[in-house]
Amino acid sequence: MDRDVCLIVNPRAGAGRAAARLPQVEAALRERGLRFRVERTTSLEHARELGRSARDAGEVAATLGGDGLAGAVAGELRGGEVPLAVLPGGRGNDFCRKLGIPQDPVAACDIIAAGSVRAVDVALAGDRSYLGIASAGFDSDVQEIVNGTRLKLGAAVYVYGTLRALGGWRPARWTVTVDGEAAEFSGYSVAVANSGMFGGGMRYVPGASLDDGMLDVVFVAEAPKRHFLASLPKAFKGTHVDDPNFSVRRGREVSFRADRAFAVYADGDPIADLPCTITVAPRALRVLAP
């Protein structure tokens, strides 16, 4: 690809994995004849600034970090011609999984050099963008534990967070409106999916498409904790969708709230508080994919 690359790195991603692999990634980019500069982020807001800088310079904006970093930069590229490239450097790397990008960041450099440009949807919660799944409720409690632990568990940290959160969990009462049609239920969580994957490989919404201009809205209804826990391994295969406590609706605008306060997390980072409205920008992002 005859275009300069701005490599935006979160050195803290993946418990330091991104920083540790950076020298190898730089060597791989040189081997492929790519011109690039490296920018290290200090925050998601700083990452957005770097994304705007790459966009204005006409550079490929390549991220080396987690899904949250990719989503933040994607928001700045939305609606433009500058493509996003994603190198896996976080704990989950679910956007890479969805696109079929290798989980080794060095191997993924091939996508920057020779990948195809694909147009994908971007989900928006106010002025915050994401590429994977935004959720609240039980998932909020899990993510707070995940973000707060110093244990180096890799993607297994999400299973750890689930087990920790389940003990003190009590159901919430939800009101969800999808394209103007409201529903109420009692249960664990509401999730609004763009890619359909999260949690380090969970095929949470196996039927979700990145380029259909729709959001998949997941309702996880009240069920015994033992039943909920037993269904967790099925989520990695996508077979949990047969559970009667799990249901999906589809739409272009989703508003949801609960009977108590929750933060809405998307791709590992808090993006809003309830009540929250999420919309979709169809095929608004150009991304390099296999």
* Domain locations along the chain: 5-114, 130-282
| CA distances, 195 to each of 6, 191, 222 (Å) | 24, 12, 25
**Average pLDDT for 128-156:** 86
Q: Smallest Cα–Cα separation from 270: which of 99, 94, 141, 121?
A: 141
Helix (H, G, I), strand (E, B) or coil at 153: coil
Q: Residue type for 167, please?
A: G
Q: How confident is the model at residue 163 (pLDDT cuts 50, 70, 90)?
A: confident
Q: How confident is the model at residue 128 (pLDDT cuts 50, 70, 90)?
A: very high
Take residue 228 and report the two structure tokens written for it: 């909920």
Residues 6+ apart with CB under 8 A from 6: 36, 37, 39, 50, 53, 54, 57, 59, 60, 61, 62
Q: Smallest Cα–Cα separation from 176: which of 134, 239, 210, 206?
A: 134
Q: How confident is the model at residue 154 (pLDDT cuts 50, 70, 90)?
A: low
- The rounded percent of the chain whose pLDDT value lies above 70 is 98
Highest mean pLDDT among 11-15, 233-237, 255-259 belongs to 255-259
Residue 91 pLDDT greater than 90, yes or no: no
pLDDT at position 116 = 95
Residue 240 pLDDT greater than 60, yes or no: yes
Q: Smallest Cα–Cα separation from 103: which of 150, 67, 74, 146?
A: 67
Residues 6+ apart with CB under 8 A from 243: 231, 234
* Buried b or exposed e, range 32-65, using 16+ CB within 10 angstroms: eebebeebbbeebeebbbbbebbbeeebbbbbbb
The fold for domain 5-114 equals Rossmann fold (3.40.50)
Q: Residue type for 189, please?
A: S
Q: How confident is the model at residue 251 (pLDDT cuts 50, 70, 90)?
A: very high
- The rounded percent of the chain whose pLDDT value lies above 90 is 77
User: CATH second-level architecture of 130-282?
Assistant: Sandwich (2.60)
pLDDT at position 157 = 75
Take residue 218 and report the two structure tokens written for it: 């997941």
